[in-house]
A and B are shown apart, each in its own frame.
Chain A
């Protein structure tokens, strides 16, 4: 690539990033504050940014989990929940809550809202952008909470932590298990695939594109290119210039995507335990199908939602049982890098 072309491309990426920011600022108007406790945020606090809809079952454990890891404040957008999510969140002392009835799809799957809040409140903080069904696991987490992790990363000039999104599933049909709010979801969803992931490097952004896992295996085996994207950059030392381009899978400026080593070494990384397949999935799939608020062309995933509505069994005899971060690291799903 010639020098001129490189400059032109860099300019294009910059334009794209600026448009994203402008768009996020415009979408900021969708959000109506319910409780704003952001004045409690202190310099150096670790913040979590969440968009959700009807997650009352998951929220008690979600908040407890991340509080224990050292998240100091949660900035939540409630996309018109019809359950108790909103009321529950509003009474939490470390949550700031916004409400919107606007289309999730039109807000780039909530990312415009996240982007606006990140820009306004996240600058200079380590920010965790996750969904309510994602629990971050990383090496040594029981003795080294997030402030220890971020201090280590920062000392080495790293501004982001990469993670693989790992789909957890139960043994037996999805609707055959019981989950009570507040329970550790890995007690119910105790299984995962340890090595069914494919990786491609996206030449334009430098980001890795990881796909596979039980969803590809069960529902998309004839259309693997539609398999879920499992690359995530959930934890970033935020700068107002940064944007997430495609959910939290990739970022701009492009150097933020270099969360992997290309010379054979392993960088420090984590895993996002994905608790999507809790028993309510069957009902939620039917709703998601009718709301048509998800990625890709509406209608593309109808088969997928139909299959989920039937509560299939994702388990197989070679599935790995979840036993904590050490096993995930031994299986090569994440790495301590040099954080010995």
Chain B
């Protein structure tokens, strides 16, 4: 049965692998006509013919000088196909392959499968007007311009001739009856279709046209099959994937399982050094013919993932081969995180409370001036981050992105405030505010609470209060700018204390959406009796504390009806 399936094989490198594959095919009973690129040195060519001399059904055809993207590859294919049809009259299907192709299933499988699809031409053939997958910016222009220069060897001339023709608005006449189609050059055609294409009385005319088309090997047969084919099934039986630049993906030993399970007939291209692949797939297998259908989808997914990593990358990762410019990060940080400003000031042991009720890592002031207050006050934290303030302040943004990257899978929460490192020009807060992963909650003016409780010299306190207020005002300005992407909530201290439970529950729902926030006890407030008079005292000293909101002079106690049960 395999004798009814013939192969044309184009080879130019890794001749020993090509010989192995040709032997495998021929031993299954299928004839092979090999086209060896004319640039292959005579000695190598002689070794190849000698290696296959014992196989009468392996023939070599007249050689052309192959150059990528040029007519020579079509000429080679024509010559080899003609010879195959003439030398082997029993051949009913012709499969075009390259020396870097590897059969993944016995040839008998393919031959039987083709028997079940009579009179069908398997060739990817897509109307050029409808494709969007051509790489390099040329699709319809492949057919309407002239391409006298080789793309790889004469890149500059190639580009200039294209530019010039665009400028002159050159538009070649496409021969009558021709509707340009493109697709993979690894096809499998029936004898009838191939013969009609090669014997077409118009062929000299078509050939003359395609000689100056760009990459005609992807369009010659793909276009003409539409004139002569009886039943065109537009797909290639050869599994081949392309990367985002349009270069073919390569298969290596580690793809063995993936290829085995794909049930595809042929894969391209295979790295010549992939010994395990060649050994495995070219070892004759026992057993009957399998009629499994090819399932390339797993391989499609495998390479789609790789392309996504190359194009989009992993969000929040900054490394030696991924350093996005501003706003091209596809995600500034790895995962959602929460920033609390003023909470540990108004609540007693806010950190301890949050750790206990939410399933997340709660840090103190990560950007405190003296050191990074990691959860548990670790000296070294995830990823090898040190608690040294100098090291952290050398690049506070990297410190944050590193922390979030190294702790993926666990939400990070930390305290922030006007007394902390802000980075150059509030760099850090700008970064967080523009980050959609950030949840930033601010109780403005709460920085005054520790001052009030410090019992320090009042002149000092007043100076510090003025400084912190100035910083927090700038922070609020950033958080209210139109460029923010973070979830930002700001309360004045007075607003917040009117009913602390409500905002806490709201935040909590976002941090841990599945826990029953409503049932959770809220933490105790610090003692604020006398805070009102403290603020008045600041006013009396000539400072104007404004960020706390309207704080009553007398002692505050939140309305008991708002406390949670």
Contact = CB atoms under 8 A, between A and B. Distances in A.
A29 interface: no
B321 interface: yes
B387 to A, nearest CB: 9
B360 to A, nearest CB: 17
A201 B323 contact: yes
B386 interface: yes
A199 B253 contact: no
Contacts of B244: 338
A115 interface: no
A266 B395 CA distance: 22
B544 to A, nearest CB: 39
Interface stretch (B160-168, B308-316, B457-465, B529-537): B308-316
A3 interface: no
A156 interface: yes
A143 to B, nearest CB: 4
A334 interface: yes
Interface stretch (A173-181, A221-229, A285-293): A221-229
Contacts of A196: 383-386, 402
B175 interface: no
Nearest to A208: B323
Interface stretch (B123-131, B180-188, B374-382): B374-382
A240 interface: no
Q: Which of B313, B322, B380, B390 has the most CB of A within 10 A?
A: B322
B328 A338 contact: no
Given A144-B271, A193-B383, A264-B324, A222 B388 contact: yes
Interface string A75-86: 000000000000
B514 interface: no
Contact of B384 (A214, A222, A268): A214
B281 interface: no
A261 B250 contact: no
B324 A338 contact: no
A145 interface: yes
A99 interface: no
Nearest to B306: A340
A162 B320 CA distance: 7
Nearest to B314: A332
Given A148-B273, A338-B243, A264 B386 contact: no
Contacts of B328: 262-264
Contacts of B88: none
Interface residues on chain B, size class:
35 or more
A157 to B, nearest CB: 8
A200 B424 CA distance: 14
Contact of B309 (A144, A260, A338): A338
Given A144-B254, A194-B406, A214-B384, A334 B324 contact: no
Contacts of B311: 264-265
Contacts of B306: 336-340
Contact of B252 (A148, A213, A267): A148
A154 B34 CA distance: 27
A241 interface: no
A140 B252 contact: yes
B310 A337 contact: yes
Interface in A161-202: 162-164, 192-201
Contact of B405 (A195, A213, A335, A338): A195
B254 A140 contact: yes
A273 interface: no
B372 to A, nearest CB: 11
Nearest to B318: A199
Given A148-B252, A198-B395, A265-B311, A210 B320 contact: yes
A335 B390 contact: no
B391 A224 contact: yes
Contacts of A227: 394
Contacts of A193: 383-384
B329 interface: yes
Contacts of A316: 379-380, 384
Contacts of A147: 273
Given A164-B319, A217-B384, A334-B321, A264 B312 contact: yes
A337 B305 CA distance: 10
A224 B396 CA distance: 12
A247 B171 CA distance: 53
B317 interface: yes
A264 B320 contact: no
A221 B388 contact: yes
Nearest to B310: A338
A163 B385 CA distance: 21
B1 interface: no
A259 interface: yes
A252 interface: no
Contacts of A148: 250, 252, 271, 273
Contact of A337 (B271, B309, B324, B380): B309
A309 interface: no
A259 B321 contact: yes
A269 interface: yes
29 contacts: A144-B254, A152-B250, A155-B247, A156-B243, A162-B320, A164-B319, A193-B384, A194-B406, A195-B402, A195-B406, A196-B383, A196-B402, A198-B399, A199-B320, A201-B323, A213-B384, A223-B390, A224-B390, A259-B320, A261-B322, A261-B323, A262-B324, A264-B322, A264-B324, A265-B311, A269-B319, A318-B381, A318-B382, A334-B321
Q: Which 8 A-B pairs have the closest CB atoms?
A: A193-B384, A195-B383, A340-B306, A269-B321, A338-B310, A224-B394, A196-B384, A195-B406
Interface of B: 243-245, 247, 249-250, 252-254, 271, 273-274, 276, 302-303, 305-307, 309-314, 317-325, 328-330, 378-386, 388, 390-391, 394-395, 398-399, 402-403, 405-406
